[in-house]
Structure 1
């Protein structure tokens, strides 16, 4: 009898796990992948994809309002939440089927069940079947974290349940200040809801460039979103179909729905990691891995959000691909986690890549900042009160552009392309030598000639 039933068992059918399974199978490995919920994982089923569809839907309200300035007379528009959700569900089902089909076409076997460790090579499936695999990849992603239990926590929804609300709330309170909280605050505001955002920190988007944080908050508040910082929700009461959230500062806010988006934690509960001897990173609570995604157990690997390194879908995909190439493709591939473009799909959206001003000033002795804020051309006729922010962070000693930050329409699309230039270590002179494309907002990135700020750190004696 063969020592192992298969070469690779993947736990989790999300973006990272699916990519790893497909590539490994393409290299000739015998692969099995288990998913207990739905193929596609967080991103496809209840994350990036359905979120972006809701962003599109909510933005039409603004587009319709702006159209009047351009001569369009549009009859009174109405929005139907159930129709949007049904259409979203249809698209998600299509993508889920495509994920399953593509994995099976690669030669890997899909099992729709839970898998837990019995030992470092053995997995027990929810069906009762036991599988022994030479190599195991953990790609179970993350899950919403409601934080400390408070009275009434059972009334709170997360970014899982928000996609399946039967009706659109007239009033919603959202606790959190990161990607998910801001995106849903803007989504609901776009649908005409009364939105209150509560965050414990002093400003939203912790970890982002300070100018971006200030600009985004200003734009959200101009859109009618109430942002309360320096406080938290301590208690939630339910009265019929309504809720009262009691804040740490003593205020109380009534709403039809309460959502917490205060962070996500690695989805490792009940996997039996202790039986396999897999170590947890004490600093972040994720599975501890090295630069090749190998855990403390030589034959067990982990990729994506379950490692709690950089919780972005493209990162999980790249890590899964690199793992499969390294272990089964006879190619040693190490993922570079530096200069990863990212976006926050609030309104207006944020696109950023590279270092913030604060990070650059801590790292380099000479930093030049190029920054501009302007009213976009569309707003000059639509009349909308909004401004675009563009900022370049430059290492003044080498002239290399080490960071780019944009708040405005199409910021994400722009930063994706700029990510190539920054990854290639483009200099400010390279930006200046690039001909502007007029009229665009992005032309500002190649026409800023004078630093708005310059910082030189005095040499230590």
Structure 2
């Protein structure tokens, strides 16, 4: 059978665009459909505009700190409209680049929704298109709590359409987005309370990091409410009233639901293609990202494996090389560095202490200190935490974790070492750059504790 395309990608986010562009570079005839905006969530209503707003909040703090260094800067208040205009212009520029990259690579683009008619046939904006291979890269969709009044709450996308800063905000959820939104809104001048189910936020992260980020946020005046969730949202005359599971109520101007995402698979017609889905619409895939239909693949958040933009991009590139580049390979899901852009930010790679301790004895090296920038400004909540998790037997560094200034930038380099299998001795013989916070990672000499062994053995 002659197909219209060798490959058709459903979804023009970071993973889908990389998959399409690299495949076309290998000589494949490629089409890609995007129904909302090129670049996906990350570029348009996620990582990029969020980081711009985090930067804006940081500038306000630096302006306040400047007096300690001899600068006298008068704060005239933040101009929300000016920030929004600059942010939106940058997002539009980046989104346009994605479209131009595809055109330059010879990819046929469709500003339309694509749905399956059968295993090789798609309806793309009313046009019938066939493809030998199909990749599903539709990302995730935002979810809200199922409580009365949930329709009155905002979701993360809505932050980027607000015309003004809400003065009192309730953030629901203790994951990446919830903590990042809380930090940037507080930094821009809002009163913020965060509500989350667990004892600590950032489930799955290292325990010391989780504790430290709560301390940092509380020091900035953010209310951190563990084990408390909303049960109802009620519209009052000029505000919202949030009823809470602890029988208290909170009066706010906005509620942000940062309660996660679900795979964006509803309405794709997967049943007509025979593609099996799991709980919540997740698409199960094998090690090569093939679904149960061998010529249909899924990458990115629809697989719910590791929902990070760089991970989806790496998987898309590897799959393109495998299918069309005569270079079979896989992107590894192990030791993936990541960051949380709280204030201060978190950077982490590898295993947490809790994860590593499940596999045997590990040596823990940990330090906390005030970074040089804040020894003069004495700003509360800007302590740095740095930690190494080391396998006791092999001395391999299994995990590195940091909360502090420039954590994300520092962790990118540390991530290379962890992926390569560096040992504690490799870190020790590396000369530090002085004076920096980063040098602490190569000057940690005193073991803080041992984890992963019975108490009696530790005592001996």
Q: 2:353, 2:451 within 8 Å by CA — same for their partners in 1?
A: no
Query: Residue 455 in 1 paired to residue 451 in 2?
Result: yes
Query: Residue 384 in 1 paired to residue 379 in 2?
Result: yes
Other-structure match for 1:60: 59
Give how far 1:82 is off. 1.3
Change over 3 Å in CA distance of 1:86–1:453 after alignment to 2 = same
Structure 1: gaps spanning 5 or more residues: none
Deviation readout 1:198-238 (Å, 9 max, x if unpaired): 11111111111000000000000000000111011110001
Give how far 1:285 is off. 4.0
Q: 2:265, 2:281 within 8 Å by CA — same for their partners in 1?
A: no
Aligned match for 1:268, one of 259, 265, 270 = 265
Q: 1:169, 1:193 within 8 Å by CA — same for their partners in 2?
A: yes
Other-structure match for 1:291: 287
Instruction: Give RMSD over aligned pairs.
Output: 1.2
Give how far 1:458 is off. 5.8
Q: 2:266, 2:281 within 8 Å by CA — same for their partners in 1?
A: no
Give how far 1:36 is off. 0.4
Aligned match for 1:423, one of 392, 409, 419 = 419
In 2: Cα distance, 1:457 partner to 1:433 partner: 28
In 1: Cα distance, 2:127 partner to 2:432 partner: 62
Give how far 1:279 is off. 1.2
Give how far 1:456 is off. 5.6
Change over 3 Å in CA distance of 1:96–1:213 after alignment to 2 = same
Other-structure match for 2:16: 17
Q: How does 1:4-403 map to 2 (within 5 A)?
A: 4-126=3-125, 128-147=126-145, 149-282=146-279, 285-364=281-360, 366-385=361-380, 386-403=382-399
Structure 2: gaps spanning 5 or more residues: 456-460
TM-score (norm 1): 0.97
Stretches of 4+ aligned residues off by more than 4 angstroms: none
In 1: Cα distance, 2:74 partner to 2:93 partner: 33
Q: 1:292, 1:335 within 8 Å by CA — same for their partners in 2?
A: no
Give how far 1:420 is off. 0.3
Give how far 1:30 is off. 0.7
Count of aligned pairs: 454
TM-score (norm 2): 0.97
Query: Residue 437 in 1 paired to residue 433 in 2?
Result: yes
Q: 2:356, 2:452 within 8 Å by CA — same for their partners in 1?
A: no
Give how far 1:267 is off. 0.4
In 2: Cα distance, 1:249 partner to 1:456 partner: 36
